[in-house]
Chain A
Amino acid sequence: MATRSEPRLQAIAAKPASPAWWRNPDVRAVIYQVLALLLVILIGTYLVSITMHNLEVRGIRSGFGYLDHEAGFRVGETLISYTAADSYGRAIIVGLLNTLRVSIIAIVLATIIGTVVGIARLSKNWLLAKLASGYVELVRNIPLLLQLFFWYSAITGLLPAVSAAVELLPGIYLSKSGLMYPVPVESPAHLWMASAFLVAVVASVFYTRWANRRQETTGVRPPVVQVVALLIVGLVAAAWLAGGAPTAFDAPAKSRFTYTGGASISPEFLALLLGLTIYTAGFIAEIVRSGILAVPWGQTEAASSLGLRRGLVLRLVVLPQALRVIVPPMTSQYLNITKNSSLAVAIGYPDLVSVTNTTLNQTGQAIECISIMMGIYLTISLAISLTMNWYNKRVALVER
């Protein structure tokens, strides 16, 4: 019959005619991409050639050799030893360490303050909620640079001179020149105390594991928080006693017109820390608040109707779900703190951008300097992004 005829079988077996090459979407895709690449390469080559020419004309050297040359400038505060005779490379590392130093401390403080303010905004207490809202609205609507300039001007303009420093707490003095505070005198007991702390932490981990197992087998949960606190405080105190109970502090002591002894924080660092912390805490407060609000009220109701008390409802049901919503934007804010610390250049804190700026002005090698600076920031951003992606994948809620 007709169904088995040759022409029909041939028609079935034959492949459809290929469209003309310019209508074939796969060919088009390749062409577009090739064109895009060509465009990028063309622009790139053009820019590079002009730049090389301009560099020659202006007598600017190229290459990264300058990193080994003597820097010739002093840096206001450093974590590692540095003098004007050290290389530019070392100066950049000093700047990077300063950036990390202020960023990490600001991250910790902003997280604590932001979380407290965020929870306060959700409080049943009307006054507390309104005060917290006022704080958040205020800091979020004023540029960070303005806040930084304000704090810096206030510290260096309104605070008294060193000779008349304000004593905030015994041994802690605030003045135009920053904050001075006492540090314990070096003693072998400190090593003991540090080791005791580590031992206590490890012991706490094991104890918590044991407590969990105990609860699984008997149903009764041994006290965890109190025991861990006791362990840490107790062991460290014991080590302190064993080391001879040193109480010597090197405190700032008034001598004529200034103070000697103790340690100090520069006004630049103080202003930067204050500005970054207070500004970012406002954003973190909003993140914490929306994270907690994101957990449906029904979850709290279901947990309460099982008989769980408020503390357990928070710990077992609300917080795990809230954290999933809070962590991604939170890490974004941590990244912002690191990038915003670059505003240090405006108030004279020697961070990475500051040092790069000085190096740039001295060597004229703008391209190399700025590239190094950007490269470092990109690395930090990448590290934080990757960590966040890993965390997100790990805690993603399993759905169909």
Chain B
Amino acid sequence: MANAAMPSPLPSDAPMVQLIGVNKWYGQFHVLHDIDLTVASGERIVICGPSGSGKSTLIRCINRLEEHQKGRIIVDGTELTNDLKNIDQVRREVGMVFQSFNLFPHLTVLENCTLGPIWVRKTPKAEAEAEAMSYLERVRIPEQAAKYPGQLSGGQQQRVAIARALCMQPKVMLFDEPTSALDPEMIKEVLEVMVELAHTGMTMLCVTHEMGFARTVANRVIFMDRGRIIEQNEPEEFFNNPRSERTKLFLSQILHH
């Protein structure tokens, strides 16, 4: 089985991420309906669905880039509320990779990676730089450390973004359509880095259309539509035996491109 080489999620009492009855409105538009989700430590979750289904909003609620109005979100034991201390605590443990990379163009690649450790984790500069270089090596672009983001290709920028998030040594990594803004020939290099990351036992939530990645790496695939979780299952079951009509429709659209 494709998942045989992957470390399986650690059985533990406390799940890493918990969403209980989460609801969110934009004005009067109900964008998340009663979301219940539990993610164990080391689990890899792929979330897919048509555009507007709320999948990006869902993971952005987990690191408080969006606020939920009803329900509870608990990350590694800390509940997300309006309390700034809790938000800081959660953000320290959660790393995020964006669709449009969002690298800081006025800082070098190395400075992008060390910004968080130096100013948030209060790491001394030399130590932060050494760690950053090791992560840059993991994403296979250590030689670009002194360059500026504007000088890199899209695929390289996204890998730097992954390294930047990893430098904070998070317990959970969120990916918001990491390859959607990339030219086709660069998608592979980023997916490879994500697969390697999965090998290390990182808890990952990915919103993506890359179904091959889902098959290789995911423990669970979740299908969302119009703000609700319609179906979730192991990848093999999900792709071969979709239960809901909407899931079937979506899969037929996406797997025949």
Would you call B106 and A397 a contact (CB within 8 A)? yes
Q: Of A217, A320, A398, which is in contact with the most chain B CB atoms at under 10 Å from its CB? A: A398
Q: Which residues of B contact A317 (CB under 8 A)?
A: 104
Would you call A216 and B120 a contact (CB within 8 A)? no
Would you call B118 and A215 a contact (CB within 8 A)? yes
Q: Report which of B65, B125, B151 forms a contact with A216, defined as CB distance below 8 A.
A: B125
Main secondary structure of the interface of A (DSSP, over half): helix
Tell me whether B232 is interfacial, beta carbon within 8 Å: no
Known: A298-B102, A301-B102. A220 touches B122 (CB 8 A): yes
Known: A216-B125, A320-B106. A399 touches B148 (CB 8 A): yes
Residue in chain A with minimal CB distance to B106: A320
Q: Which residues of A contact B126 (CB under 8 A)?
A: 216-217
Would you call A306 and B118 a contact (CB within 8 A)? no
Q: Report which of A218, A302, A312, A395 forms a contact with B102, defined as CB distance below 8 A.
A: A302
Q: Report which of B98, B120, B124, B150 forms a contact with A301, defined as CB distance below 8 A.
A: B98
Produce 1/0 per residue, B139-155, CB < 8 A to A: 00000000110110000
Tell me whether A65 is interfacial, beta carbon within 8 Å: no
Tell me whether B208 is interfacial, beta carbon within 8 Å: no
Q: Report which of B84, B115, B150 forms a contact with A316, defined as CB distance below 8 A.
A: B115
Known: A215-B118, A217-B124, A217-B125. A304 touches B65 (CB 8 A): yes
- How many contacting A-B pairs (Cβ < 8 A)? 89
Would you call B151 and A399 a contact (CB within 8 A)? yes
Residue in chain A with minimal CB distance to B148: A398
Tell me whether B105 is interfacial, beta carbon within 8 Å: yes
Would you call A298 and B164 a contact (CB within 8 A)? no
Q: In whole Å, how far is B78's beta carbon from the nearest beta carbon of chain A? A: 13
Produce 1/0 per residue, A373-400, CB < 8 A to B: 0000000000000000000000101111
Tell me whether B100 is interfacial, beta carbon within 8 Å: yes
- In the complex, which range does the number of interface residues on chain A fall in? 20 to 34
Q: Which residues of B contact A216 (CB under 8 A)?
A: 124-126
A399→B119 CA distance, assembly (Å): 26
**B contact set with A: CB distance below 8 Å:** 63, 65, 84, 88, 91-92, 94-96, 98, 100, 102-106, 115-116, 118-127, 147-148, 150-151, 161, 164-165, 168
Given pairs A305-B94, A399-B150, 14 additional interface contacts (CB within 8 A): A215-B124, A216-B124, A217-B125, A219-B118, A219-B121, A296-B100, A296-B102, A301-B102, A302-B161, A305-B63, A308-B116, A308-B120, A316-B115, A321-B106
14 A-B contacts, Cβ less than 8 Å apart? A215-B118, A221-B122, A298-B102, A299-B104, A302-B98, A302-B104, A304-B65, A305-B63, A305-B95, A308-B119, A324-B106, A398-B150, A400-B150, A400-B151
